[in-house]
Structure 1
């Protein structure tokens, strides 16, 4: 509860003072008039418009669009993980192996992992109060490992998986000039049967190397966003929950996730810059994939921490710094981030840095 209190306090600090904020309803009415008279909306996309519709490129900050308006965005995200941690304690790779040793006793030790994700999103304003969104993704993951069969750690061939991830459909509704509610449905289009080769044998890849959840997931969110009177400052916060309703066909479900995001953004002519904090609380995996469990077999397996469902989830606070540039209906952005705090369940690789670039167009 202490971690939640800290993060909610940060959200309140950035979102206080809404009484003097710019009324987004007025801006939407003006934009609607342009759209209905057939004018080029790009001519009306001033700093206030760009600030509302672009608070952060590397995350999904939900908003509505004027009726009849489209937005298409492409994002490339890189996540780098480096080093092992149990709880908040760093764990040297040398104490994880060999198999049967104390306190861990794994044969394979992950040392570094990277994930590249490409995301394509399409959004449409059904009315001034309701927008719909669809998003697809493609992922590529690589994990470096050490192998120890009793004669010391030696580098092993990295594990690699890639393919399309889960697809998200979302409805977004404007409650008032500051609040937006939304509900997403994640469709399990990502493969959960990715395979890897280790020691001339084929295994099902561990949970974090799979491409999807294998379940239909619900993702409700509530977003607060406000502009200053001069439309030069934008601030807000968002809470989102990801709910995995039951086990997938492989006998497990990923841990549910609570995500709190807050941001402060400043317009700088055609550019804007922002600071953002994100807090994630993710539960352990429930159940177990019997194919992945074969990796833990002491005779025929290739045991590693990632094959144990207890070694997933935890809490993490990330800090991000980003900048975007707008030209007419087009916007280009880049954002970098690092973890400020991590407390993980069991033994896990931990995040070290993030980088996202994106391009979006509104018409």
Structure 2
């Protein structure tokens, strides 16, 4: 379920999908090395004024997202997809006392919520035989997402002002992005497999003068059908993303996530999951897919909070 562009509805068929997803991040890394909050506030300079050190370090981020998708088969080889997403992000942040030192002051627990994505895409099958198929896709994300969320955050002097949330805590980016991709998939008997690439490339800065770095994601997967209607899956995902370009003048505090250079990096993740078809209960039009995984390698532009795990499922109904 984590690969875009692998499935296409038949000509004249409409597919509705709802996909909830959850993820958790905690712990700080510089490159591949884990570092403590105390190390960061004692050694990492504030990018706005390098003579000062950072005073706030994220401890935990919980992400919950809901995506709705509508797919339609225009022909046997061409389909279109429209998606919309909302996201909620909950932060636990540790603030250190005063202008220097490693004495903790307290913790904050703010959250953000809003529209994350609105996209349109097309998938075209360029080759198919009884075993193999190749499909290309091209999508666009539109600047309708919410990227000016605010929250209350404890400061080193003990005040709790309402400020603009960090880049990574915004529900969306508010940029116009192009998303090219290609999928190779095969199946023979009870086995299925495939490889895919998809990019996400912001074309311009948003109105707040920043954009996320270019994202490139690669997947390889295999599936095995245990019995008709039940398939297990295994997926390897690798992604690389650049740093944030530009900066928002309202996101300048002495916290790790205010630095645009502390975003992006490389990550490899392993996922296991499955697909259950409604044919098991004589309702072939519906299916449920589920998947969960965790990273096995992270090389982050940091200090940056690391990813712990991700899980989700998808309910699909063919009309």
Q: TM-score, normalised by structure 2?
A: 0.89
Match of 1:103 among 25, 35, 44: 44
Contact 1:58 1:356 (8 Å CA) reproduced:
no
Tell me by how many angstroms 1:325 deviates.
Answer: 1.0
1:185 aligns with 2:140: yes
Query: Which residue is equivalent to 1:82?
Result: 26
1:204 aligns with 2:148: no
Contact 1:63 1:174 (8 Å CA) reproduced:
no
Query: Which residue is equivalent to 1:30?
Result: none
Query: Which residue is equivalent to 1:309?
Result: 260
Q: Structure 1, residues 207-258: CA drift from partner, whole Å, max 9, x if none? A: 0011222211100101101111x2x111001111111112111111110011
Tell me by how many angstroms 1:324 deviates.
Answer: 2.0
SS class of match (2:110):
strand
CA RMSD of aligned residues (A): 1.3
2:289 & 2:105 partners in 1: Cα distance? 41
Match of 2:209 among 251, 274, 287: 251
Tell me by how many angstroms 1:155 deviates.
Answer: 3.4
Query: Which residue is equivalent to 1:133?
Result: 81
Q: Structure 1, residues 270-291: CA drift from partner, whole Å, max 9, x if none? A: 2110100111000000111111
1:72 aligns with 2:16: yes
Q: Structure 1, residues 302-331: CA drift from partner, whole Å, max 9, x if none? A: x11101101000000000000221111111
1:64 & 1:329 partners in 2: Cα distance? 14
1:118 aligns with 2:59: no
Match of 2:176 among 216, 227, 235: 216
- Higher mean C-alpha displacement, 63-72 vs 115-124: 63-72
Q: TM-score, normalised by structure 1?
A: 0.79
Query: Which residue is equivalent to 2:149?
Result: 194
1:155 & 1:61 partners in 2: Cα distance? 45
Name structure 1 gaps, 5 residues minimum: 1-56, 296-302
1:338 aligns with 2:294: yes
Contact 1:305 1:311 (8 Å CA) reproduced:
yes
Contact 1:80 1:115 (8 Å CA) reproduced:
yes
2:68 & 2:232 partners in 1: Cα distance? 23
Query: Which residue is equivalent to 1:283?
Result: 242
Contact 2:122 2:137 (8 Å CA) reproduced:
yes
